[in-house]
Amino acid sequence: MLCYDYYGSVTVVIIQKILSLYIIIVFLLAGLNCHKQPSEKHDQFVLKIGSIHRAKSKNILYDNALGHFTMISHPPLLKLETDGRFTGILAEQFSYSNDYTIWKFKIRKNFYWSDGLPVKPEDIKFSLLYKGKHLPSRKWMGKLIKVIDIDQKGDIVCTLAKPYTRFDIEFTSVRILPRHIWKGIKNPERWESPRLYTGCGPFIIKDIDLNSGVVSMVRNPFWKGKSPQLDRIEIHMYHNPDVLSLALKRGDVDTYYKYADTFPYGNISSLRETGLYKIKKCTESGFIFLGFNLKKQPLDDHSLRQAIVYALDYQEIRKLITKGFGQIPQKGFVPPYFRFYHPTEPLVRDINKARKILEGSGYRDLNGDGILEDREKQPMKLRLVSTLIYTRLSELVKDYLNQIGIQVQLQILDPMTWIHTKDRYQYDLTISRTTPWGMMMHAGWSTGYFDYRRSGQGVLHIIDDPDYIHLCDAILSTKDPHQLKVLARKIQEYHAAHIPAVALISKTDVIPSKLNLSGWHHDPLFGIYNLSSFLRLKLTYADH
């Protein structure tokens, strides 16, 4: 029997008991469970993909992350091959009229929705009209497509309101929906139901659990194409890339996926040490670039832009930012793997040349304080704006410009403020990136980032030079490869000569994959996350 002679002792004993109980419970739980993964059938081949794309709702039509993930459950009509050609997924073949106003798609007959019904041309027609009506990002489609018909052969015929040569590119990302499921839904933005997961790809969504952070996909029972070895795909969503790297290190997931991005370079060596992964180098996913505000002084001055290009240390950027995995681009602002790539002047550091150009253009240090004065005899001070992920790179750029006597006021902004600032041209310099889709948009060859008639999240819209606009329009008016080759060369030469932006580094996508997995395919637009990958993937030995 316990007997306490004063109040204090009772409190102490109770607290001690609570503490010991807590410690016992914690370690008992830890010891008993030792982080067991839920048991899986031994013969099941489950691919676990770690991603920092995070689904924030279960709405497959509106959620950005689910938009990426459902590319394999709701495949589009076409896909882009690495050589720049378009081939069919749901469409067997496609053709267009000479004036690019009538586009015809022949639909494959061996695609079935996961509820057993065949994919019909009506589903494609419905998807185009439905998205054009409901999705803000696809409203242009509703305006561009005048009529959609299904001809006697069952082909889809789109008649456009005006000639459009890039219609095929758009169909690499338009997911097709089952008409019989979606036709009664008037407010798709408010709908979240497992019934809407009905897809026609080899894998369909089984469950989206936001609290556990897992999107599960299983085989489509009515898939008639090549049979995949994979039984299930789990996409594990992490909020932080470093934690995802730790999860990979522990072997929790098999690979890493982020659209248009690489596994963090800084974590590669520690992952290699585990001996669990092979590190696959893919083609570059895009540039990180320094954009110049051509719309106002002083960066409307070509000589100043030229001097800045020579002041930057590309080798050091490659070493520090991409840990040696990136490639140093050229002035043409188009990567070598791109169709009709044309070599232009390589980017090299020449600080003396930079100084000479500045001096020759009237930028001189008049008072000997190490800072150049401009033509109005005011100290040179440029405003560089970027977002948090480019902080280190922005500091490097600031340092390089300081070395040639240009002061830089660095402002790190949140993404929304950056967009606001960029769209109002309230900057001199800015750092951003290109994406595979971005390089293809508008007239392609990165023109979508520069043409002043464009708008969008990463678009600078800084060139209103009639020569450039004419070049873009010329590209947009043809699909003739010979003409395109000539025009693509001219666009790249224009970029090299006028320098609207300088590509600081071309990132090489580095993707870790468990040693026993083989068969990955790298899609030029969507990286490793594509139908071919999941249909080809196999285990190279049987202890998965």
Partner 1 sequence: MIFLLGEDAVVDPETVTELKKELGLDKPIHIQFLNYFLDVIQLDFGYSYHLRKSVFNIILSRIPWTLGLLLFSIILGAVLGIYSGALAGWKSHKSMSRILTQLNILFFSAPPFFMAILIMAVFAIQLNLFPIKGLYQSGTFMDIVQHHILPVAVLTLITFARNFIIMRGCILQEKNKPYVIYAKAKGVSGKKLLFKHVMKNAILPVISLLALDFGFLFSGALFVEIVFSLNGMGTLIYDAINSRDYPLIQGIFMIITLMVVSANLLADWIHQLLDPRIRKEK
Q: Give the rounded distance of the alpha carbon of 285 from its chain centre.
A: 8
**CA distance linking residue 515 with residue 424, whole number of Å:** 49
**CA distance linking residue 443 with residue 440, whole number of Å:** 7
Nearer to partner 1, 242 or 464 (CB): 242
Q: Per residue in 256-281, is it b (16+ CB within 10 Å) or e — as a string?
A: bbbbbbbbbbebbeebeeeebbeebe
Nearer to partner 1, 163 or 458 (CB): 458
Q: How many CB atoms lie within 10 A of CB 375?
A: 12
Q: Tell me how far, at minimum, the Cβ of 417 lies from partner 1, in Å.
A: 9
With residue 25 as reference, give the H or E element that holds it.
helix 7-33
The three-class DSSP label of residue 408 is strand
Nearer to partner 1, 68 or 331 (CB): 68
Q: How many CB atoms lie within 10 A of CB 18?
A: 10
Nearer to partner 1, 252 or 365 (CB): 252
Q: Tell me how far, at minimum, the Cβ of 22 lies from partner 1, in Å.
A: 7
The three-class DSSP label of residue 92 is strand
**CA distance linking residue 160 with residue 148, whole number of Å:** 9
10 Å CB burial of residue 21 (0-12, 13-18, 19+) is: exposed
Nearer to partner 1, 140 or 337 (CB): 140
Nearer to partner 1, 22 or 337 (CB): 22
- Contact positions toward partner 1, by CB under 8 A? 6-9, 11-12, 15, 18-19, 22, 26, 29-31, 33-35, 37-38, 56-57, 59, 62, 64, 67, 136-137, 139-140, 189-190, 210-214, 236-240, 242-243, 246-247, 249-250, 252, 259, 414-416, 419, 435, 437-438, 441, 448, 454-459
Q: Tell me how far, at minimum, the Cβ of 86 lies from partner 1, in Å.
A: 18
Q: Tell me how far, at minimum, the Cβ of 365 lies from partner 1, in Å.
A: 41
Q: Tell me how far, at minimum, the Cβ of 19 lies from partner 1, in Å.
A: 7
Nearer to partner 1, 440 or 511 (CB): 440
CB 103 within 8 A of CB 165: no
Q: How many CB atoms lie within 10 A of CB 522?
A: 19
Sheet holding 145-150, edge to edge: 91-96, 102-107, 156-160, 145-150
Q: Tell me how far, at minimum, the Cβ of 245 lies from partner 1, in Å.
A: 10
**CA distance linking residue 78 with residue 171, whole number of Å:** 6
Q: Tell me how far, at minimum, the Cβ of 476 lies from partner 1, in Å.
A: 14
Nearer to partner 1, 62 or 529 (CB): 62
Q: Tell me how far, at minimum, the Cβ of 241 lies from partner 1, in Å.
A: 11
